[in-house]
Structure 1
Amino acid sequence: MTNITTLRTRVSPEAISKVTRIFNGTLDDIFNELFQNARRAGATRVDVTAEHMADACLITISDDGAGIADPEALLSLGQSDWPEECRTREDPAGMGFFSLAGLDTVVSSRSASCAFSLAIAGDAWTGEADIDVLPWDGAPGTAIAFRFEPQPDGKLERCVEAAARFFPLPVTYNTKELTRADFLADAHNVIERDGFRIGVFRDRHSPHVATLNFHGVTLKHNFPIVKEVHHTQWSVKVDVIDAPDLVLVLPARKEIYRNAAPDRLVALCRDTIYAVIRDEPFHRLSFENWLEASLHHDDFPQAAQQLPLWYPTLARESYREVPQFADLEQGAAIYDDTDSFDAVTFGRALRRSNADELHRLGGIHRRAFYEPITNFIGYPWYDALSAFVRIGERFTFHDGISADEASTVTMRPDAITIELADQYDRRLDLETDFAIMEDADSWNDPDCARIALTRTTSLGPDDLTDLIIDAVFSPSDDSDADSYDTQETRFRHDAAVRAHSILEGEDAAILAGIRMAFADRVAWRIPHGRTLRLSWSSTASDLSLDLVQEGSAQ
């Protein structure tokens, strides 16, 4: 049993033998790390040169910064000689130089206190060989040259360009100054706060795009996204200016270290998004988001008093675009249809009362109907609207009605009343000439749908056919199902037969079915300029092709 009572963590000397595995050894890592060292050293520019040879590529990275004060600290993993101000502001780890581990490297540097040159062979990185410290008579700053494996045409230049793109200092490659870009370019608004530049973007977000620029090193981090209701999506990207508490996970620097700083930054980003939304002409935040925004900003305005105009949901629609939003009118109300049977019935009642606009009820109970938006529940203006639902229907027969007639799939009453009620139990009755009711067997079968049609309706067979299709036709998307067009054609045939049967009788329905079948399958075979004459019965048939008589329609 050990008698030791206290311990301290330490780095084993054997760890240096594994130093070549700390970094991936990619050019991206090398450029990013050495560029960051140049920036911390107070450089005003970075110059990169490359000489391509048959068996290697000789790359040199030079800067005009303060130089390296202590070569021993440079070669001590986890130790650095950065000034106290730099350590306080950025917490440098003393590891970036080891992104070169394993590569033949020459370091030449002049600082205020010393000038030296180091030639580091590949095996010297693991402490297996001495490294001579030689004098150097060069300009202030640091130059690091290293041998790298041969690079395909253009790859090296692309790596330098990527490292320089959002780097705060100018960078040259073989004397050519590389293009730099603003990390927050095309932002809807940029707000500088607490050591960050926060760019707020409108309808531009991708999980594959870097969202944080740490002095030229870009990475992905999940910052807040605020989505308005059927309107704009807001996202952010962050450019770090001076944020000592925000540090990256070492050594790779590919993600933010989890301390309190990321949470504060996320909260700052959310506050910034709401600040931008507040200055917009209007917004459509959900009530929940609006409550959150109100915690960040006093007197945050409510969502615009707008809703999408109501229009019927059709059975064949697996997805539909949200109708256009419009300002609420006086007497505005919500209609919450429960299914396509309900929606088509209500839509017909509105069209009958007001032929001009589908969402508007005419007559003495004039109203404009809008789609419900559940995310707005809680706003006083939204909760004050009457939200109507269909609670039933009433059929009037002047000559009375039997129980058997009321249960049939087709009814021809003298009057139809659609009964509605809102959340305050206020009633609204709509007179109409058509109603279609859901039944257990009615889906996708026009013969089973329960249809009521007044005896004085102005609907014709074609209009009634369209209403049946809108309410009932729901195409199958199974892999073995017929195409949409084939299913729709077959259903239209059955719906038309039903419509003609209701309005014109069984003989008319039979003729309508024959006429459609003939048009779909036979008519195209009749030659141009000829007339087919057909007589057919169960016992005999007669067909002939005649010439079209002059002046007659074919």
Structure 2
Amino acid sequence: MPLPATLRARVSPEAITKVTRIFNGTLGDIFNELFQNARRAGATTVAVTAEHLEDTCIVTVTDDGAGIVDPADLVSLGQSDWSEACRAREDPAGMGFFSLAGLDTVVRSVSAHASFALAIAGDAWTGETDIAVLPWGGPRGTSIAFHAPPQRDGKLERCLESAARHFPLPVTFNGEELKRVDFLAGAHRIVEREGYRLGVYRNRTSSAGDTVNFHGVTLRHVLPQVKEIHHAQWSVHVDVVDARDLVLVLPARKEIYHNAALTRLKTLCREAIYQTILAEPFHRLSHASWLEANLFCDAFPEAIAQLPTWTPSLARDSYRDLPGFMAIAADAALYDDTDAFDSVSFGRALAFSRNGHAGEVHRLEGQAPLTFYGPIKQFIGYSWYDRLKCYVRTGERFCEADGSDTALGRDPCTLRPETITLELSDQFGGGLDLPTDLALLEGVDSWTDVDTVRIALTKSSRLDPGDLTDYIIDAVFSPSDDSDADSYDTQETRFRYEAAARAHAMLEDDDAATLAVIRMVFADRIAWRIPAGRTLRLSWSMSRKELALLPEVDVPTSDTTAPGAIAG
């Protein structure tokens, strides 16, 4: 057959036979659609009644709007008789009434041009039977009654309350007005722009709720958020007032159609957030966000010159808790540690500079004191931040009294030099030498084996075995979280025994290391079983094993002070 020269898109008449599948037909959909029609018709109030019968529930929705001019438009899918002003203001699609498709429905309407009643049986929605147009006399407006399945579990009331909660018109149910809530309740600031009310929220915890209120129909849409660095997080919700180009995806109207209006709305959201931040006493925006803020607000100031003080990161911590931010001092510098070995060693060097005196853990004392802060990479680009020297550890020196390098002994993991110096460098090419008495360095398998940790300790160090044990644990102990691993406490206890043995052997001798571990195990596992006022006497060897539980006064003094005894 010959093909036509031109075509026009059209809707097949067979589409009407599938109308009952266009909408889900839930009570929520029905109330939302009927309420929107009432609002567009200029209604000032909506009244809902429900009559619960044995096998059905008769729900009636009545409004005092302008009424329906032509009943044919009401049952014509995709066609409506909305005024030109309404069409210009928003996007009525002529589909909302079909949310009732498949339900026995009675419509009564009085307008300036017509008054009528329609009784639409369930099978009439597909266009297979005629719908009689009957005369009707009543007040101006529209009343729609429909039969729903029995509703005895409160579902109808919940759906109705939800549809009315953010609807702009008052709604009554069986004569009682339903509660309405401003969609932007609790907003830190509300900005009105281009037909929207934009509510800007500070640290709103829930991100799973609806973010857009389209005249009472609430939708979940991802809108811009701005997070400051370890400070406030800003989000925005939108209450649509009169935005003609923002439309919903048909027929369900569950999401916003992606067009230029939606792109513009997101721009307005970002502008509202940055204007709100600008009004705050200070901000901690990342430099990238600050550059974006300057696109929306003139003369947007830089982030406040505050940083968290430097604190050591420990191997056992999965993340580092930042201390509170504080104004940077005149002698401020940054230290960017690479791992727990570096962090613990640097922290010990700062303590060493105080020569045993109490002080702030982030302060370097001496002739050229410095206050160290933790680096915030997102601040790179701010003028005040870029001026700060950011030090990293680039090496270490182990020297003898004559200045020569300390030679490795029989144990390559243990070094006892006269002096230790940590070598630091900054991004400007400068350097800083920090004297210390302890340096911990990673060795082969040192994350699991204490004996392979490389420890350098000066001969004159005043650290005792307990202090050194704690430093080793801080730098090395990283518990396993495998499902078949022992508990944290068990892993930590076992590691502490190993670290104590290493510390005592290094500062005393191998016998002291053995006794230290026995003492710890005894205190953890056995000591608590000794009754009050009693003393346990223990003599144990490969050939002789003796235990005695004696009165405390019966133990000879020599027994507790003999060489190799386990003293408490």
Q: Scaled by the length of structure 2, what TM-score is found? A: 0.95
1:152 match? 152
1:518 is displaced (CA, Å) by 2.0
2:10 match? 10
Change (3 A) 1:510 1:322: same
Q: Deviations over 1:196-235 (max 9, x none)?
A: 0001111115442101000000111111111111111111
1:508 is displaced (CA, Å) by 1.5
**1:404-483 mapped onto 2 (5 Å cutoff):** 404-405=408-409, 408-483=412-487
2:398, 2:405 within 8 Å by CA — same for their partners in 1?
A: no
* 1:170 aligned onto 2:170: yes
Matches of 2:175 and 2:344, distance apart in 1: 72
Change (3 A) 1:443 1:457: same
1:412 is displaced (CA, Å) by 1.6
2:390 match? 387
Q: Write the letter of the residue equivalent to 2:128.
A: E
Matches of 1:353 and 1:194, distance apart in 2: 62
Runs of 4+ displaced beyond 6 Å = 550-554
* 1:539 aligned onto 2:540: no
1:183 match? 183
1:273 match? 273
**1:106-255 mapped onto 2 (5 Å cutoff):** 106-204=106-204, 206-255=206-255
Q: Decide which moves more: 163-172 or 103-112.
A: 103-112
2:406, 2:417 within 8 Å by CA — same for their partners in 1?
A: no
1:550 is displaced (CA, Å) by 8.9
Q: Decide which moves more: 82-91 or 498-507.
A: 498-507
1:498 match? 502
Q: Deviations over 1:149-182 (max 9, x none)?
A: 1013311111110100000000000001000000
* 1:513 aligned onto 2:547: no
Q: Deviations over 1:110-158 (max 9, x none)?
A: 1111111111111221112222211111011111111111013311111
Matches of 1:8 and 1:151, distance apart in 2: 46
Percent identical residues: 65
2:92 match? 92
1:365 match? 368
1:19 is displaced (CA, Å) by 1.3
Q: Which runs of 5+ in 2 are unaligned?
A: 558-566
1:343 match? 343
1:92 is displaced (CA, Å) by 0.7
Selected match of 1:377 from 350, 366, 380: 380
Matches of 2:102 and 2:445, distance apart in 1: 76
Q: Decide which moves more: 441-450 or 160-169.
A: 441-450
Q: Which runs of 5+ in 1 are unaligned?
A: none
2:116, 2:133 within 8 Å by CA — same for their partners in 1?
A: yes
Q: Secondary structure at the match of 1:201?
A: strand
Q: Deviations over 1:224-268 (max 9, x none)?
A: 111111111111110000000001111100011122111111111
Q: Decide which moves more: 13-22 or 136-145.
A: 13-22
1:300 match? 300
1:398 is displaced (CA, Å) by 1.8
2:306, 2:328 within 8 Å by CA — same for their partners in 1?
A: yes
1:205, 1:235 within 8 Å by CA — same for their partners in 2?
A: no
Q: Secondary structure at the match of 1:363?
A: coil
1:76 is displaced (CA, Å) by 1.3
Change (3 A) 1:298 1:334: same
Q: Write the letter of the residue equivalent to 2:64.
A: D
Q: Deviations over 1:342-396 (max 9, x none)?
A: 1000001112223311111111121111111111111111111100011111122
2:399, 2:406 within 8 Å by CA — same for their partners in 1?
A: no
1:316 match? 316
1:402 is displaced (CA, Å) by 6.1
Q: Secondary structure at the match of 1:85?
A: helix
Q: Deviations over 1:396-419 (max 9, x none)?
A: 212666643397222222221111
Matches of 2:410 and 2:387, distance apart in 1: 38
Q: Secondary structure at the match of 1:245?
A: coil
Matches of 2:493 and 2:219, distance apart in 1: 54
